[in-house]
Copies of this chain bind each other. A is one copy, B any other.
């Protein structure tokens, strides 16, 4: 369903929706035991919840597509990730929770090395450690050109983000990275005639930055890619008519949530912190996105046992979540991260929705095997919000 239709049908209500996301939740059987991480974990509370819920699997982007964190979450927020795309520069800024303004232009930067003639000798400057590039970033701060501010922030290793803030800027600027060793960095070039002022400004910034980097180690030059502006999407408060809060500790997820108009609440690193934050802000919001990162981290590390343990830790916190008594409680993931694959995967993601109006189905426990019997089947993750809205009494009838 498109957001235009949601906006037409959405109505306000006193009901509360909690979307609890265990990052990278879905798994695959352990080659020795044949059990997935969810099957192996001790999860009495999640299992009880499953017995009272409508269950199934979501497909985050499309069948067979492995999602990044951005698309995986956007889908859960109701934004079709194939339609709502985030420019590279904005994604980078979002990843560090940089507070992008709508007129800002962001680009992803690489520190690189060039020889005496200015030819690129290493496009990533040997993947220098984050601490090193942080020092280089310090050297680039505070350059202002014709009243346009240039913010520079470290990301990770050789990567940084550049944000230009001023009037009349455009993101229609081609990459300066020639993607070839031995070539010189390209000048910033406008891809539309109206972009020439911004291109010239970027070039003056690069010139000043290059001067400041001259003779520096381990990198003496930079490359810019993916110029982009913050997308102008219908915000969750507007499209869904609800006050939406993000309870997420990691910058990337806070940034994503803010892109769709959620308020990112301040929260500590533990799940107890998260639930306390939801509880304290219960009256201020209608919708809470609660993010739990460590299932994904364990999966990415290929650490099956740790992922099992992290799931069990979540299970212990479930009663506190249930006690808040939201009208709709969804427990799911943004994508699968099977420990056996040590990375994100395309596998459909376990999903359950508890509500007074949700029909409980044949699922006895919350794992991939049982969820095959769920009443929701396997459905697009972008429909999760519509389901939540319906069960929360927040969608009017379509047609008479």
Binding site for B on A (CB under 8 A): 1, 5, 9, 28-29, 36, 61-71, 81-82, 85-86, 88, 91, 95, 338, 341, 344-348, 357, 359-362, 368-369, 372-379, 383, 386-391, 395-400
Write the nearest CB–CB distance from A35 to chain B, whole angstroms.
11
When A62-B1, A389-B64 are in contact, do A361 and B369 touch as well, CB less than 8 Å? yes
When A70-B400, A357-B28 are in contact, do A395 and B64 touch as well, CB less than 8 Å? yes
Q: Please, which residue of chain B has its CB at the minimum distance from the CB of A390?
A: B64
One of B63, B360, B377, B388 near A1 (C-beta < 8 A): B63
Decide if B65 touches A9 in the complex (CB within 8 Å): yes
Give 21 A-B contacts (CB < 8 Å), ordered by A residue.
A1-B63, A1-B64, A5-B65, A5-B82, A29-B360, A63-B379, A63-B383, A64-B388, A64-B390, A65-B386, A65-B395, A66-B398, A68-B398, A71-B399, A81-B398, A88-B400, A346-B390, A361-B369, A362-B373, A372-B373, A376-B378
Contact residues in B for A64 (Cβ distance below 8 Å): 1, 383, 386-391, 395
One of B28, B68, B397 near A400 (C-beta < 8 A): B68
Decide if A399 touches B86 in the complex (CB within 8 Å): yes
The answer for the CA separation of A67 and B362 in the assembled complex, in Å, is 26
The answer for the CA separation of A77 and B172 in the assembled complex, in Å, is 38
Decide if B361 touches A399 in the complex (CB within 8 Å): no
When A359-B28, A372-B361 are in contact, do A65 and B390 touch as well, CB less than 8 Å? yes
The answer for the CA separation of A391 and B387 in the assembled complex, in Å, is 30
Write the nearest CB–CB distance from A336 to chain B, whole angstroms.
10
Decide if B359 touches A70 in the complex (CB within 8 Å): no
When A63-B1, A347-B359, A359-B347 are in contact, do A399 and B28 touch as well, CB less than 8 Å? no
Contact residues in B for A399 (Cβ distance below 8 Å): 61, 67-71, 81, 85-86, 91
